[in-house]
Amino acid sequence: MENISDVEIIAPNFKQRLSGVTSTIIQLIPVQRALGQKVATLGPGLPGSLPHIGYLALPSLWRRPKNRRFRVWHARRNIEMLPAIILRDILRMKLKIVFTSASQRKHSGWSKFLIRRMDAVIATSNRTAAYLEVPSTTIMHGIDTQRFFPAKDKATAKAALGLPADRKIAGCFGRVRHQKGTDLFVDSMISLLPARPDWIAIVAGRATASHQAFETELKDRVKSAGLTERILFVGEHTNIPDWYRALDLFIAPQRWEGFGLTPLEAMATQVPVVATDVGAFSELLVTGKDETGILIPASELAAMTGAAASFMDDPERRMRAGERGLSGAIGSFSIKGEASSIGAVYEKLLSSAN
């Protein structure tokens, strides 16, 4: 437990279930701390290794931190903005509030009400910023290249996971559900694999209880196509970087996404990408002459099948796109760069006179 007098930034997490927002907090905070940002978490569902304050420390927010006039409360959900507004505006605690928005749709009246009361707003992409009605700073998510990096030997990486070392592998990672487009990936592989005996496909991710029937239907489609041994549902894994390193092609088939880190994770492991034009994918991928991947319209199975085939059938193109993707991930999308940019927003608020 952190001493509240040493904490300048509070990162609340008021959602127990693991989500993309929670994952962002888990990955960012160690990097922020390494950069000297005095940040601590508040709330459930986070690893005990992260610096943390308890709810009993909240009355101390009436007092200033050491050498600062304010603390920063960094909210990422509505349920984290509202308590901060109460603490700041009703209880008159010495807080500045930052909100990070990843939403790419019109905000509800309630969300707009909350967002208008923020001291600073961060958008995770330019597309997200376009939905905001207040000034914002665009800071895109970054990738931890200490975790996500290319395999030294692809065949060894495959064998270590029990996958055939002599096959090329196309992968789709994330929650198994309609929104994530898992069915589009499976249907494209059912179409492509029979004519490409040197390729297999893997789906890595969990189907929650409400999506079990969806996953079962997909497995039935694969069985009916006679591809049970070539389209593998491998479940959820904590060592997901190892699974990326085994891939030769990554497909992000989402129908909708707030931001979406999976193409960036693939790029950092030197894997070419086919992605739908949702979330921040169009801002992560380079298409055309210096491509790192291929961008396709969402929900269009024929486009996904064609794009995947163009990479599967051209090893030189895969290699070039993978190399460019790695260079782009390291140069433009490091998590250290993200943390530094967020730190600049904090510093401006922490240094304000009122």
pLDDT tens-place string over residues 108-129: 999 999 999 999 999 999 999 9
φ/ψ (deg, to 5) at 284? -95, -40
CA distances from 347 to 3, 85, 340, 351 (A): 20, 20, 10, 6
Q: Across residues 259-287, what is the average pLDDT?
A: 94
The pLDDT confidence band at residue 258, using thresholds 50, 70 and 90, is confident
The pLDDT confidence band at residue 325, using thresholds 50, 70 and 90, is very high
Q: Across residues 302-321, what is the average pLDDT?
A: 98
Q: Across residues 212-226, what is the average pLDDT?
A: 98
The pLDDT confidence band at residue 227, using thresholds 50, 70 and 90, is very high
What's the pTM value of the predicted model, to 2 decimals?
A: 0.86
3-state helix/strand/coil string of 223-285: HHCCCCCCEEEEECCCCHHHHHHCCCEEEECCCCCCCCCHHHHHHHCCCCEEEECCCCHHHHC
The pLDDT confidence band at residue 198, using thresholds 50, 70 and 90, is very high
pLDDT tens-place string over residues 69-113: 999 999 999 999 999 999 999 999 999 999 999 888 889 999 999
What is the distance between the alpha carbons of residues 223 and 220, in angstroms, rounded to a whole number? 5
Asked if the model's pLDDT at residue 66 lies above 90, the reply is no
SS3 22: helix
Asked if the model's pLDDT at residue 17 lies above 90, the reply is no
Closest CA to 93 of 74, 71, 124, 66: 71
Asked if the model's pLDDT at residue 353 lies above 70, the reply is no
* Burial category of 304 from C-beta neighbours within 10 Å (exposed 0-12, middle 13-18, buried 19 and up): buried
The pLDDT confidence band at residue 238, using thresholds 50, 70 and 90, is confident
Closest CA to 189 of 234, 225, 162: 225
Closest CA to 6 of 39, 42, 31, 54: 39
Domains of the chain plus CATH, in order, are 4-142+335-350 (3.40.50.2000), 154-332 (3.40.50.2000)
